[in-house]
């Protein structure tokens, strides 16, 4: 059994509220949302972080962003605005060692980010 919780959600071995799935990515709601809309978009293939993505994975990286845009529209936050975040490594705030893109919106975002 894979120890990565995101891999387990993708495989259907752990619960997750999946809102989108295709051949490259899966998206599901964050269990600890920081805003009314908080969706994680993850590659179906395990990448520990953005540092593992190579030039041959360009289609995957693009798909993650385009899926985020599609979900922002579906969630009704595309006009008011939203934030996309990729945390990488411990100093970047990455908690789960599986590359993921946060789609956050539905309220005014706070600033500064750091």
Do the Cβ atoms of 26 and 68 come closer than 8 Å?
no
37 Cβ partners below 8 Å, 6+ apart? Answer: 72, 75, 77, 82, 103, 104, 105, 106
Do the Cβ atoms of 59 and 22 come closer than 8 Å?
no
Please indicate whether residue 78 is annotated as part of the active site.
no
List the catalytic residue out of 78, 100, 102, 111: 100
d(C-alpha 105, C-alpha 85), whole Å:
11
Report, as residue numbers or ranges, the catalytic residues. 100
């Amino acid at each position: 059994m894979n120890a990565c919780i995101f891999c387990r959600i993708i495989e259907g071995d752990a619960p997750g509220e999946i809102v989108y799935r295709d051949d490259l990515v899966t998206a599901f709601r964050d269990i600890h949302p920081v805003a009314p809309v908080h969706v994680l978009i993850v590659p179906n293939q395990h990448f520990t972080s953005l540092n593992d993505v190579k030039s041959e994975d360009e289609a995957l990286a693009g798909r993650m962003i385009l899926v985020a845009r599609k979900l922002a529209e579906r969630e009704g936050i595309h006009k008011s605005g939203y934030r996309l975040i990729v945390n990488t490594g411990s100093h970047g705030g990455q908690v789960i060692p599986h590359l993921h893109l946060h789609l956050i919106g539905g309220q005014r975002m706070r600033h500064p980010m750091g």
